[in-house]
Amino acid sequence: MYFKRKELEKFRCFKGPLIDVRSPSEYYKGHMPNSINIPLFDDDERSIIGTIYKKEGRKKAVIEGLKFFEKKMELLLDNLFKSIEPPTTIPNKNNELFIRIYCSRGGMRSQSIGWLLDKFKLNIVTLKGGYKIYRRWVLDSFSNKLNLVVIGGKTGTGKTRLLSLLEKYKYQTIDLEGFACHRGSTFGGLGMKKQPSNEQFENLIAEKLNSFKCSNNIFVEAESANIGKCKIPHEFFNQMKNSMRIEIIRSESNRLDELIDTYSVFKKEELQESVLRIKKRLGPQRTKIALESIHNEKWDLVCRSVLDYYDKCYEYEKVGKTNIRLIDLTDKKYDESILELINNVL
């Protein structure tokens, strides 16, 4: 085989399409961001080959794998070429664009596809150690010392909008809720895409961190350990708890306007289902008011009925926090003028 097989650090430096040849279920559980899944074997085929390997050994498993491959080689090549054309099919070994391929451990699956595409005189590089090595890199990245700045504030203070403003003006930011596809509350899944697996959530955070200069401030929104079904990596969350915290202060009127703008656009049924999920914590009276107000589209009453509950939760979550710096954004627009206020408290 004449194609390149590289360690992760060098593999990441190559430019070109990134192909994951593992099975669909492996890919769903977690994959390198921006990769394309073109599986050499589907989930059933992989299971069959694995069983043969355990019971009858490697030779028999390889033979069975070749049988599966023979039946689908034309379709597999067609899918590969659709994903890599153009300009990566230029038959020039010195071209800077490469087709990057990885499997679970950098073994037969990625090497087999690499060998096949090499016959078409394409530029191929495979990942030594495969996805397993990548995951080790992801988990290790959370132990690096980071200069985190946590943006806190009660529900409706516009923490996410401030984070987006900072991102717009090229500050280093980590949008945990964006990666988790969830806003973190009982209403957090409304209007969001399906949440990623927890493993993929970690991969996204690690990739974002890798793009930063760690000596500079990294802004992140205050969160509980879990955002919907996604859990913030333990080492990263510990750094959040011990980092500088900017606490946003806004009036109740500002907060109600923020919540109404955010949630009044959703279907009544979805909002009512969200209220019912916390009815034990809201209590019968507030639950009744919230449900009736949703039905009658009295959005200020809906928000008021849950605001007190979330404020109590937030005060409990903030207990024990130190190094908190207050910033009063009451009645202020979320534009570049706020950035000076942020810089003044850092």
Q: What is the DSSP string of 8-67?
A: HHHHTT-BS-EEE-S-HHHHHH---TT-EE--SS-HHHHHHHHHHHHHH-HHHHHHHHHH
CA 346 – CA 343 distance, rounded (Å): 5
User: 151 pairs with which residues across the strands?
Assistant: 221, 246
Q: How far apart are alpha carbons 7 and 15 in whole angstroms? A: 15
- DSSP labels, 99-151: EEEE-SSSSHHHHHHHHHHHTTT--EEEETTHHHHHHHHHHHHTTS--EEEEE
In this structure, are residues 208 and 174 in contact, taking their beta carbons and an 8 Å threshold? yes
Q: How far apart are CA 243 and CA 239, in angstroms?
A: 6
How would you class 251 by CB atoms within 10 Å of its CB: exposed for 0-12, middle for 13-18, buried for 19 or more? middle
CB-based contact 6:125 (threshold 8 Å): yes
Looking at the annotation, which residues are catalytic? Answer: 103
> Would you tell me how many other CB atoms lie within 10 Å of the CB of residue 211?
7
Phi, psi of 147, deg, nearest 5: -90, 75
What whole-number distance in Å separates Cα of residue 195 and Cα of residue 183?
11
Contacts of 87 (CB under 8 A, 6+ apart): 97
- Rounded to whole angstroms, the Cα distance separating 40 from 72 reads 9
The rounded Cα 3 to chain-centroid distance in angstroms is 32
